[in-house]
Amino acid sequence: MARWRAALVRQAPFVLSLVAGAALWEVVGRNTNAAFMAPLSETVVRLVQLTASGELPREALSSAALFSTGLALGIVVGMPFGLLLARVKWLREALDVYIMVLYATPLVALIPFILSIFGFGFWPKVLVVFLFSVFPVLYNTIEGARSIKPELIEVARSYRSREWALWREVMVPYTLPFTMTGIRQAIGRALVGMVAAEFFLSATGLGQLIMTATQNFDTAAVFSAVLLIVAAGMILMRLGVALEAHFAKWRG
């Protein structure tokens, strides 16, 4: 009992802040025009409605397909290419500036070009998510490659290590933790890319649900979809942090 009570006391501020936040949302929502702000209770009702009607799950699945295809492509392309750049010094020195520039460029600016060149289908949207996620993976893998002490490779060489062994024992263990940092960043960026593609290319998925609901002044539906995206974002972010922490142990 005592332990329970101690836990309760410790968690009290958190629970109270949740209650206060919910109450604030409810009060503000009730006192504002329904078109601008829906109270929490209405949002919850709408969330249940949209889930029961199958609309929310359907759109969420469509978004998830876009997100995971783009992110997977970003990792599948970014990781091997990054490792190749890690090993081949002249190639890395030739390309690292351009990768750094693309990493720092707000790539959303390219969406209008993608729209007018590739049109409205599924794959142009995948291209957006891919572009958002590939550069963090590449950039961080290169950072990792730069952190490998040259002595390690020299020692491996002087022991006549084969290329394969060099990759297995030096290159991959030393760059992978950095790649994981890149993947964590890529998860967040891919989510932004997903919403951007759904807003600015062809409207599908949760992005479309949000847009249509806004036009219909159905704020409760907007909040429902936003809540779902926030929840997904937090879960994915935690996954990314866990992945990164798991591999961070390898960092020398």
Cα angle, residue 194 at apex, residues 45 and 220 outer, rounded to 5° = 15
Site string for another protein, 78-97 (x = CB under 8 A): ------------x--xxxxx
The answer for residues whose C-beta is within 8 angstroms of residue 207's C-beta and 6 or more apart is: 63, 194, 195, 197, 198, 199
- Contacts of residues 83-89 at CB distance under 8 Å and 24 or more positions apart, as own/partner, are 83/141, 83/145, 83/167, 83/171, 83/172, 83/175, 83/179, 85/138, 85/141, 85/142, 85/145, 86/141, 86/142, 86/144, 86/145, 86/148, 86/171, 86/175, 87/145, 87/167, 87/171
Chain center to CA of 75? 12
Instruction: Count H helices and E strands in the chain, helices first.
Output: 11, 0
Which C-beta is closer to another protein: that of 21 or that of 57?
21
Taking the least distance from each CB to another protein, the nearer of 172 and 236 is 236
The only residue of 6, 23, 28, 35 in contact with another protein, by rule CB under 8 A: 35
User: From the CB of 95, what's the least distance to another protein, in Å?
Assistant: 6
Binding mask 140-179 for another protein (x = CB under 8 A): ---x---x-xx-----------------------------
Nearest distance, CB of residue 162 and another protein, angstroms: 26
From the list 41-49, 51-59, 75-83, 220-228, the region that binds another protein by CB under 8 A is: 220-228
Residues that bind another protein (CB under 8 A): 13-14, 16-18, 21, 35-36, 90, 93-98, 100-102, 104-106, 108-113, 115-117, 143, 147, 149-150, 181, 188, 191-192, 194-196, 199-200, 210-211, 214, 217, 219, 222, 225-226, 229-230, 233-234, 236-238, 241-242, 245
